[in-house]
């Protein structure tokens, strides 16, 4: 269940005076398909430099990755993992790979494994901040335990998140579209 994430967005009125445009729970919260994680989209930019506007840039459907010259700001609530049987794991991996082939997301590359079904990389630089709880960052051959206050900068690396803590972990993510040297290799 998504908790309300208060979002305050400033802008300008018709006279150029600074005003609050939006103040309230961020309206774009979604449960990720096939997972219990809740993603709350706070803001999206399509270009750099970003365009300032009075419209709600989070009022849209967007995948995991930002536009190539844009950015995404979101909160992700990751519940504790549940133990899965080998058969359930195999089915989930098959479902993820089928979803990727049937509905590819530009800039998103999935590589699910039994160790880390959510393994993926994006064409972006990602700033990840653990706001509350604990989580493990899994890379190809290593993992790092993170707790509230820890921050990660990812540069297009294959990774997955594993919440083994028994409590929900809340993280903030800012993804900025990036040119990647491996484009077309996957």
DSSP string, the chain: -PPP-EEEEEEE-TTS-EEEEEEEE-SEEEEPTTS--EEEEEEEE-SSSPPP-SS-TTSS---SSPPTT-EEEEEEEEPPP----HHHHHHHHHHHHHHHHHSPPTTEEE---SS-TT-EEESEEEEEEEEESEEEEE-SS-EEEEETT-EEEEES--BEEE--SSS-EEEEEEEEE---TTTT--
Percentage above 70 pLDDT, the chain:
83
Output the average pLDDT for the chain.
86
Do 102 and 134 belong together in one domain? yes
Do 130 and 58 belong together in one domain? no
Do 62 and 114 belong together in one domain? no
Domain membership of residue 182 (yes or no) is: no
Domain membership of residue 4 (yes or no) is: no
Percentage above 90 pLDDT, the chain:
53
- 101 lies in which domain range? 78-177
**Does pLDDT of 118 surpass 70?**
yes
- The confidence score (pLDDT) of residue 136 equals 97
**Rounded to two decimals, what is the model's pTM?**
0.83
Do 104 and 135 belong together in one domain? yes
Do 42 and 127 belong together in one domain? no
Number of domains within the chain: 2
Q: How confident is the model at residue 100 (pLDDT cuts 50, 70, 90)?
A: low
């Amino acid at each position: 269940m998504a908790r309300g994430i208060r979002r305050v967005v400033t802008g300008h009125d018709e006279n150029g005076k600074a005003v609050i445009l939006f103040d309230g729970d961020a309206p774009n919260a979604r449960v990720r398909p096939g997972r219990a994680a809740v993603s709350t989209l706070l803001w999206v930019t399509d270009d750099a430099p970003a365009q300032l506007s009075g419209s709600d840039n989070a009022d849209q459907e967007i995948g995991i990755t930002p536009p190539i010259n844009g950015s995404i700001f979101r909160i992700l609530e990751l519940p504790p993992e549940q133990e899965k049987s080998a058969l359930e794991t195999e089915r989930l991996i098959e479902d993820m790979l089928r979803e990727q082939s049937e509905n590819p997301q530009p800039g998103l590359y999935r590589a699910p494994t039994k160790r880390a079904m959510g393994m993926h990389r994006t064409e972006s630089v990602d700033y990840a901040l653990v706001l509350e709880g604990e989580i493990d960052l899994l890379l190809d051959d290593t993992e790092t335990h993170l707790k509230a206050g820890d921050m990660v900068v990812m540069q297009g690396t294959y990774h997955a998140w594993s919440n083994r803590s028994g409590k929900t972990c809340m993280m903030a993510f800012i993804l900025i579209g990036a040119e990647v040297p491996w484009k077309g290799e996957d």
